[in-house]
Amino acid sequence: MKHQEKPPEGNLTKPMEFVLLDFADVPHLQWFLFGLFLIIYIMILVGNGTVFLITKLDPALQTPMYLLLDNFSFLEMCNVSVILPRMLMNLWTQRRRISLVACATQMCFFLMLGGTECLLLAIMAYDRYVAICHPLHHSLIMNHNVCVRLVSGSWLGGVPVQIGQTFLTFSLSFCGSNLINHFFCGIPPIIKLACGDTTVNEMMVYIVAMMFATVPFLLILLSYGKVISTILNLPSASSRTKTFSTCSSHLIVVTLFFESATITYLTPKTQDSGGTNKVLSLFYTISTPLFNPMIYSLRNKDVIKALKKLLWKYSTSLIKNESIYRS
């Protein structure tokens, strides 16, 4: 909680722009970081884009689980595109200024997509719970219409809340420095620049984090508690291994995302931990989109089969076109 003495009225300003410091403290690594994050960004787009196309084009993958995976892959591309292009531009040009409107827009989309990710992960856990604990009723409970409604709710559910939280954050009065010690416009680093009492804003951060992170995480734990209980009651070890493999990929993604996100947003800020928060934010912003395609593709025989079929169809089409061109 921040209680900063309010300066004279003349010193209270509404800055027209901020400066994202990102990795300015390591000037000798700017080009290395640019190359590294550019490669990571391309890998995220190619990897998640491939999973997105496969689940869209292959008729065998038109099931609830792959509808959710399709949306999750698209979400990951959107999520990382809110952060990385601006960071790459800053590293390339060394001009780290960002307008007030651009900063608020980035924050709003980051919060909305982050909330959607939490809700979507909870829906995916529920789908695995129904598939394993109630297999005979899975197609009835998680039919196409239900999945579409759940997915639509995850995309739209947090929009008014996150718009309100963004508006509340940028309604603060700012004074002094406009330097944001982060690589994107997040709520905690923006609040640090505000004058006066920010108790309401900090309480809102915790309340919204509880709604869109803690509650979905608890629902995921409840779902997998039921799933593990069901798996342990299966008669053979091979059945237990096969059944657990259907949800292990999702568990890995959940662990990657929630562990670092929870530490970043729900840990009390007892001291200046800007560097630590940057590392943790970078981890949960990039790690899940980066590893999601590998986790789901390399551990999923249906996705690998569909990928091989797509590559074979594409290569055959290229060979035919080349033959026609030569003739």
**pLDDT for res 7:** 47
Q: How far are the Cα atoms of 89, 111, 186, 319 from residue 107, in angstroms, in the given order?
A: 17, 6, 6, 47
pLDDT of residue 264: 59
The pLDDT value recorded for residue 322 is 66
Q: What is the pLDDT, as a whole number, of residue 268? A: 53
Q: Label residue 323 by pLDDT band (50, 70, 90).
A: low
Q: How confident is the model at residue 39, as a pLDDT?
A: 96
Determine which of 138-142, 194-198, 218-222, 319-323 has the lowest per-residue pLDDT on average: 319-323
Which pLDDT does position 177 carry in this prediction?
81
Reported as a single tens digit per residue, the pLDDT across 145-183 is 999 999 999 999 889 999 999 999 998 888 778 888 888
What confidence score (pLDDT) does residue 146 get? Answer: 92
Domain ranges of the chain: 15-326
Alpha helices per DSSP H over 134-180: 138-141, 144-156, 159-170
52-99 pLDDT per residue, tens:
988 888 887 888 888 898 999 999 999 999 999 999 999 998 888 999
3-class DSSP assignment, residue 196: strand
Q: State the pLDDT at residue 259.
A: 73
If pLDDT is split at 50, 70 and 90, which confidence band does 6 have? very low
Mean pLDDT of all residues belonging to the chain: 83
pLDDT band, residue 313 (cuts 50/70/90): confident
Ramachandran assignment for 236, one of left (phi > 0), alpha (psi -120 to 50 degrees), beta (any other): beta
Question: Mean pLDDT over residues 294-320, rounded?
Answer: 76
pLDDT of residue 5: 45
Q: Tokens at residue 111, please?
A: 């919060």
Residue (of 40, 41, 42, 47) closest to 307 by Cα position: 47
In tens, the pLDDT along 254-264 reads 887 777 666 65
Q: Please report the sign of the dihedral spanned by the C-alpha atoms of residue 250, residue 254, residue 257, residue 259.
A: negative
Neighbours of 166 (CB within 10 A): 23
pLDDT band of residue 315 (cuts 50, 70, 90) is confident
Stated as kind and residue range, the H or E segment containing 179 is strand 179-180
Long-range contacts of 240-243 (CB under 8 A, 24+ apart): 243/132
- Residues above pLDDT 70, as percent of the chain: 87
> What pLDDT is attached to residue 15?
66
26 pLDDT higher than 90: no
Q: In Å, how far are 198, 215, 274, 300 from 191, measured between CA atoms?
A: 7, 24, 13, 43
Average pLDDT over residues 36-60: 91
* DSSP-assigned states of every residue in 38-102: HHHHHHHHHHHHHHHHHHHH-GGG-SHHHHHHHHHHHHHHHHHHHHHHHHHHHHHH---EEEHHH
Q: In the CATH hierarchy, which fold is given to the domain comprising 15-326?
A: Rhopdopsin 7-helix transmembrane proteins (1.20.1070)
Residue keyed to tokens 């954050």 = 169
Residue 245 has pLDDT above 90, yes or no: no
Q: pLDDT (tens digit, 9 = 90+) per residue, 177-208?
A: 888 888 899 888 898 888 878 889 989 988 99
Confidence of residue 265 (pLDDT cuts 50, 70, 90): low
- Phi/psi at 211 (5° precision): -70, -45
Token readout for 93 is: 């040009």
The model's pTM = 0.85
